[in-house]
Structure 1
Amino acid sequence: MEFIEFSKIWNEQPVVIPDTNAILDLYRYSPSTSQHVLKLLNRISDYIWIPHQVKEEYLIQYMHVISIEKRKYSELTNQISKVIQKSRENVSNHFKSYRGDEHPKINQLVDIVEAKLSEIENEAKRFHDEIKEEVQKHDFMFDTGNVKLFMDLMGEKEQIGPEFTYREKIDLYVEGDSRYLRKIPPGYMDEVKDKDDITKTKKFGDLLIWKQLLSHAELNEKPIIFITNDNKEDWWVLENKRPIEARPELHEEFKSYSEQAFIMISLREFINYIEQIFDIQNIVAYFELNGARLMENMVAQIGWQKKLNLSNILLQNSDFCNCFEKLTNVEINSIIEDEIYLSSAQYSRDTDMVKLAGSFSLTLEITSIEYEFFKSDGEVKVEGFVEVTFELTNHKQNEIKPETVNIIFSGYNIAAYTERLLNIV
C-alpha cells in the first residue's frame, strides 16, 4: 500500500483495530521504540477500537511475553558463549591433523585464531556488563506497565468491544470447522493448536477477532484499518513468503458487512505512515521496526552464495562433518528458506552511521559427497549472527548511502540436518 492511498483513508476518520500480536510486540521492542509507538497510539486513541477477543488474548499472554523478554539478554550472552566454544572446537578439529613441529605456520595461525576468539569472549563479557542499564530500562517499562495502561485506557474510554455470547461462540466454532476444512481465511493455519487444546477451540481466536471486526464495521459504517503482524497465508497473499496484500476472500466477506474501505497493514507500515501524517521522526525506532526487512533486501541484492562460502562453512563444521564417515565435498543446490531477525538498531547523530545487529537462519538443499563417490541429498539449517552498518545521506528521510553498506556474518552454527537420498556416483 502506498502512502497516498493510506492518507486518503485516514482523512475519512477510519476505525483502527489492532490484532493481539501488534500489541504484544510492543513488549519486544526496545524501551525507546516501544514508548515512541505508544505515544503515537495514544495520540490517535480516539480512532482505536479493540475487539474483545484481542483483550482476552492479551490478558492471557502478556505476562508470559514479559517473562520471555526479561530472560532475553542473559540468554543472548549464553548463546554467544556457546558459539565461541563451538568455533574453538571447529578450529581445533579442522587443524588437528596439521599440529606438530612440521607445520609451524599452521600452528601459529591456530594460535592467532584462538587468541581472537578469546578477545571476542572478553567483549561478550563486557557487553553483558554494559547492557545492565538497558535491562533496567526494560524492567522499568515492564514494571510501570505502559502497554497495560494503554489497554486500560481503551477500556475506560469504552473502546473495547463486547464479548460474543456463549451461543454465538458455539455457532462460530461450527462455522469455523467448516471454514477451516475448506481453507477459508482467516485462522485455518492455527489448527496446529488442537494438539495441546482439549477444547479444540483455541484455533478459532483469529476467526473470533475477524467476526468481531466485521460486526463493528457493520454498525459503524467507517473505513477499517486492521493492524496485524501475523504473516501467515491465512491472512495474506504471499510472494516469496512475504505478505503482499490481504486475502481476496477477506475483502469479499467484508463487503457483505460494509461498503467502506478495508485495509490490512503491519504495525511497522502503520507507524511509518502515521509518522508521515503527523510529521514526526524517530530514526532509531524507524530502523528497529524496519531493520530486518532492510537487511534482507541488502543481502538479497548481493546474494547469500556470493556473501557466504556456504560449502566451506559446512565442511568446517565438526557437528556436520560428524554425520558422515569421510566428507569430501558439499554442493549447495538451492536456498529453501532464508530469514533475518533484528536484535538491535543503533544510530550515531555525529556520524549519521546506523548499525543493525541480529541473527540469520538459512535452510539449504544440499548434496553431500563422501569418499568422492557416495552422494546423499538432504536439507541443512545454518544459523549465525549478522551485522550491517551504513551511513545516511539524508537522515530526515532515512536515505542510505549505498557505497557505505557493510555486511558481516559470524558465529555459524548447524541447527539441523536431514538426509533424504543416497546415491553412488
Structure 2
Amino acid sequence: MNDFINLEAFKSLYNSDPIYIFDTNIYLDLLRFSKKASEKLIYKYKDLQQNIWVPNQVNVEFQKNISIVESQRITNAKKAIMEAKKSINTCNESIMKQLNFFIRYKFDNIQEIVSKVTTDLHTLKETIEDYNEVNVISQSSGFLDKQDINDFFNSVYNLSENQEFPIIKLYNIYKNGDIRYKYKIPPGYMDDPRNNSDAKKEGVSIFGDLVLWNEILDYGKENSRPIIFITSDVKEDWFLLKNGKPIAPRAELLREFSEITNGNEICILTSEKFIEYIGEVSQFDNALILAEMQKEDFADIAIGNNKDIIREKMIDWINCRDHVYLVPFNVEINKVTDIEDLTMVIQDVAVDVRDDVYYRVTFQATAELVGAYYDENIKRFTLNDQRESFRFNITISFKRERVTDFVSNDIFRKDIVDIEIESGEFERCILEEVELESKRGTFIKPNDNDYDIYNYMMSIWDKYNKENKMERAEALVYIDAANYFNYPLLEINRGFTLVQNRATKIELSLNEIDALALKRFADIGFQISGNSCFFDDKKYTLGEAYPLPESMKQCFPEGGKELQVDFTYEIVRIEDKYVQIKGKTTLPKGTKLIINFASKELMYRASSQVNVLDNGRFISEVFMKGSNQENNSIPDGWYTLEIIVPITSVQPESVQVAFGRKGKNLIGKYVSYDKIMGNIVGLAETIEIQK
C-alpha cells in the first residue's frame, strides 16, 4: 500500500461501525489547540464515544504527560508576556534615544513629553502584567481547561474494557522490541536513540509505541469489527514518508495486523487526514481545525497574492503612526514615500481561530526605502528621494473569512481582508550582500558584476542571432560570455537572470534559477554531464548547481485524492460548414479549459475558453473561417486539436482544492510535470475534417 485509503473507502469504513483508537497525542493535542478548535474536536469525538476504545498504554502516557503539556503551554504564554514586556523596554529605549536631541538642546516642555512616554509605557507594562495574572497564570484562557480534557478522557477510558499487560508479557515485548528496533521493524524504533539522535525517551519507555501496538493486535484478535487508528506521530516508524511528509501507513504494520488477527481490517491515519475525512462524511465543521494544521500553506499563498497591498500598508504604517524614526536613515527624514525592490521570506506563522481565521505572520525582508523630509513650517518637501537599503523583520496580521456552507472544498474565501502591520525592526544593509533563506532557496540581489554580465550578453546577441537560429544563438552567447568572464555557465546565467528578473519584477531564488537553467541548457543543445557540459563536441564548465528547492520538487498526490485526468470528445459539423467540439472529462465541474483548433497549412487558428459543466461535459464555441456565417465555412483538411487546462492558480477555489497545490493530485497520460507550474494538463491530437 503506497497511499492512505481514499475518501470513498473511508465512507464505507465509517458506515461499517468501526472501532476508533486514538493515540495518546490525539488527546494531548486538545491542550495544544485553541480553545474553540479543541471544543469542536471534543464535540465530534463524543459523537464517536461509544465506538472509541482506549488502550491501557494510552492511559498510562496520558496521565504521565497531561501536566507536562499543560506546563509547556503556560510556559509559552509566559514567554510571550515576557517578550511583550521586553519589547516595551526596547521601545522606551528607542524613543528616549530620539528624544535625547530635544533634551540636549533644552527644548521647551520636553520633560513633560519624557514623563508622559515613561508613564504611558509603564501603564502598558502594568496592563500586560495584569493580563498575565488573570488570563495566563490563573487559567490560560486561550486554551481549553486541563480538567475539561481530563474529564473527557476519563469518560472515554471508563467505557473501555482492557487490562494492563502482566509484567512477564511486558518483558517479552521489551525483549522482542530490542530485536525489532535493531532491524528497524515498525512501530516505535524512532523512539530509540540508537536510530534517532533526536529521541528523548530512555529505558523501557522507548517501547511505548510497541506496547500500544501489541494491545491493538490483541484487541483485533478478539473483535471482528474494523479498526481505525489515528495518531499525530508522523515519524517513519508509523508512516511511509515522501519529502518528509506521511503518504501512507507502513505496509509492515498492515500486514502484521492482518496475519495476527486472521484477516481483520485496520486503517491507520494521521490526525489531519482523519479530521479531513470525518468532516467529509459527517458534515462536521472541520475548517477551523484544518486551518491550524495547514496555517503555513495558507499564509504563503496570502502573502504571495497580496505583496503590493502589504507594501502600501508598510508605507502607511511607517508614516501614519509616526514609526518613521524606527527606520535608521543616514539623514533626517520624516516620511517614507516608497518601498522598492521588496523581497519577503516568511519566518513564522501564528493562527488565531475564531469564527473566521486570523493570521499573524513574521517575515524577513530586504528593500530600498525612499525617504523624504516635509517641513510643516513652509509646507513643502526640503528633501526628496533619499534612497537607502534596509534589512528588516515585519509582523503583519490579516483575516481569511470562512465559507459557512459546510462544503469542505471551499473552506475559506479566496481573498484575505483586514491586512495590518503590527511591528517592524529595520537595519541598514547592502542589498547585494544580503542572503535571505526560505523553502524556495537563497534570494540575493544583483551586484555590479551581474550587470556587467547582462550588458555584455545583450551587446553580443545581434552578432550571433544574425548567423544562427535562435536556440543556437542563445547557446553561443552563453559560451562567449563564459569565456569572456572566465565563469562557469551557471554563474553566467545567474548574473544575467538576476538582472533580467529585477527589470521584470520576477523573484526567483538562486536554486530556482539554476533548476530552470539546467532545463534550458538541455533545450538549446547542451549535453550535461555532472558539472560539465558539451556543445558542438567541445567541453565547457557548467559549474555546481544550487540544490533543487523544496518548492520545485515534484509533489505527489494526497492519499485518496488522486484525480485521474481523461478526455473524450467528438467533432460536430454544423450545416456542413462549421465545427464545434463537444466532450466529457473527469475534471471537476467549473474547471477552466482552453480549446485550440488550428491548421498551419490552411493558416487557420481559433480558440475557445470554456468551463466544465455538470457530469464533466464541455462544449466549445462554433469555429468558423471568419465572421461571416454565410460563406466562411471551415475548409476540409488536417487540423490540430488542443485541450489545455490553465495552471492551478487561475482555477476556481473548489477546483484548486481538487487539483492540490501546483496540481499535485492530477495523474494520467495527459499530465506532465513542469518545475515552475507543477503538474500541467494538455491534450494534442491531429484530426481530419471532411464533409
Q: TM-score normalised by the shorter chain: which range applies?
A: 0.5 to 0.7
Task: Report Cα offsets for 1:2-49 as digits up to 9, x if no partner.
Answer: 432221111111110010111111112223322221222122111101
1:389 maps onto 2:391 in alignment = no
- Equivalent residues in 2 for 1:5-20, closer than 5 Å: 5-20=9-24
1:206-244, CA deviations, whole angstroms, 9 ceiling, x for partnerless residues? 111111111111211221111111121221222332222
Contact 1:81/1:121, CA 8 A, preserved across alignment = no
Q: For CA contacts below 8 A with separation 6 or more, give which structure has more relative contact order.
A: 1
Partner of 1:346: 354
Give the aligned residue type for 2:181. Answer: Y
- Partners of 2:230 and 2:122 lie apart in 1 by 41
CA distance in 1, matches of 2:397, 2:61: 35
1:370 — aligned with what? none
Distance 2:143 2:25 in 1: 18
Classify the secondary structure of the residue corresponding to 1:357. strand
Match of 2:151 in 1: 149
Q: CA deviation at 1:360?
A: 8.3
Partner of 1:185: 186
d(CA) in 2 for partners of 1:408, 1:256: 58
Alignment match, 1:399 = 411
Conserved in 2, the CA contact under 8 Å of 1:83 and 1:412? no
Q: Deviations over 1:134-169 (max 9, x none)?
A: 556646987671222223223432x15322221111
| Structure 2 match to 1:255 | 258
Contact 2:18–2:227 under 8 Å retained in 1:
yes
Aligned positions of 1:42-57 closer than 5 A = 42-57=46-61
Letter in 2 for 1:57: E
Alignment match, 1:287: 288
Task: Spell out the pairing of 1:61-100 with structure 2 (5 A cutoff).
Answer: 61-82=65-86
Q: What SS does the aligned partner of 1:401 have? A: strand
Q: What is residue 416 of structure 1 aligned with on the other side? A: none
Aligned equivalents of 1:160 and 1:412: distance in 2?
57
Give TM-score scaled by structure 1 length.
Answer: 0.64
**1:21 aligned residue (16, 25, 32):** 25
Secondary structure in 1 matching 2:412: strand
Alpha-carbon separation, structure 2, partners of 1:411 and 1:150: 43
In structure 2, the CA distance between the partners of 1:243 and 1:52, relative to structure 1 (3 Å rule), is same
The amino acid that maps onto 1:255 is S
Deviation string 1:43-86 (CA, Å, 9 cap, x unpaired) is 21111011111111111111222222233322212234446767
Partner of residue 233 from structure 2, selected from 227, 230, 243: 230
Alignment match, 1:58: 62
1:284-323 aligned at under 5 Å gives the runs: 286-299=287-300
**CA shift digits 1:85-137 (9 cap, x unpaired):** 67999x99xx99xx99xxxxxxxxxxxxxxxxx99999887667668775566
Counterparts of 2:216 and 2:396, CA distance in 1: 39
Residue 270 (structure 1) aligns with: 274
CA distance in 2, matches of 1:128, 1:401: 37
The residue identity in structure 2 corresponding to 1:345 is: V
Tell me how far apart the structure 2 counterparts of residues 343 and 269 of structure 1 sit (CA, whole Å): 20
Preserved contact between residue 292 and residue 340 of structure 1 (Cα < 8 Å)? no
What do residues 375-398 of structure 1 show as CA deviations (whole Å, max 9, x unaligned)? xxxxxxx99966453234555435
User: Residue 41 of structure 1: which of 45, 54, 58 is its match?
Assistant: 45
Counterpart in 1 of 2:248? 245
Task: Say how many residue pairs are matched.
Answer: 341
SS at match of 2:354: strand
8 A Cα contact 1:296 1:339, kept in partner: no
Deviation at 1:300, TM superposition (A): 6.4
| Equivalent residue letter for 2:158 | E
Secondary structure at the counterpart of residue 256 of structure 1: helix
Shift of 1:170: 1.3
Deviation of 1:183 (Å): 1.6
User: Match for residue 686 of structure 2?
Assistant: none
The one-letter code sitting in structure 2 at the alignment partner of 1:389 is: K
Partner Cα distance (2:273, 2:121) in 1: 36
1:347-396 CA-partner distances (Å, limit 9, x unpaired):
35xxxxx31236789xxxxxxxxxxxxxxxxxxxx999664532345554
Q: Residues 44, 300 of structure 1: CA spacing in aligned structure 2 closer, same or farther, 3 A cutoff? A: same
Partner amino acid for 1:211? N
Deviation for aligned residue 1:187 = 1.1
Q: Kindly tell me: are residues 238 and 150 of structure 1, through their superposed partners in 2, closer, same or farther at Cα, counting changes over 3 Å?
A: same
Q: Which amino acid aligns with 1:399?
A: I
Query: 2:247 aligns to what SS in structure 1?
Result: strand
Q: Which structure carries more helix by proportion?
A: 1
CA contact (8 A) 1:52 1:160 kept: no
8 Å CA contact retained: 2:394, 2:421: no
TM normalised by structure 2 equals 0.42
Gaps of 5+ in 2: 102-118, 311-344, 365-391, 427-486, 488-691
C-alpha distance in 2 between matches for 1:237 and 1:122: 54
Maintained 8 Å contact 1:70/1:139 = no
Assess, with a 3 A threshold, how the Cα gap between structure 1 residues 360 and 302 changes in structure 2: closer, same or farther.
closer
Residues 190-201 of structure 1 correspond to what in structure 2 (within 5 A)? Answer: 190-192=191-193, 200-201=203-204
Q: In structure 2, how many angstroms separate the alpha carbons of the residues matched to 1:171 and 1:346?
A: 49
Which sections of structure 1, spanning at least 5 residues, go unmatched? 101-117, 309-334, 349-353, 362-381, 414-424
- Structure 2 Cα separation of the partners of residues 225 and 219 of structure 1: 16
Matched, 1:172 2:173: yes
Matches of 1:402 and 1:123, distance apart in 2: 37
Distance 1:265 1:360 in 2: 33
Q: CA deviation at 1:289?
A: 4.2
Indicate conservation of the 8 Å contact 1:15/1:222, yes or no: yes
AA of the residue aligned to 1:150: F
Secondary structure at 1:390 match in 2 = strand
8 Å Cα contact 2:192/2:201 also seen in 1: no
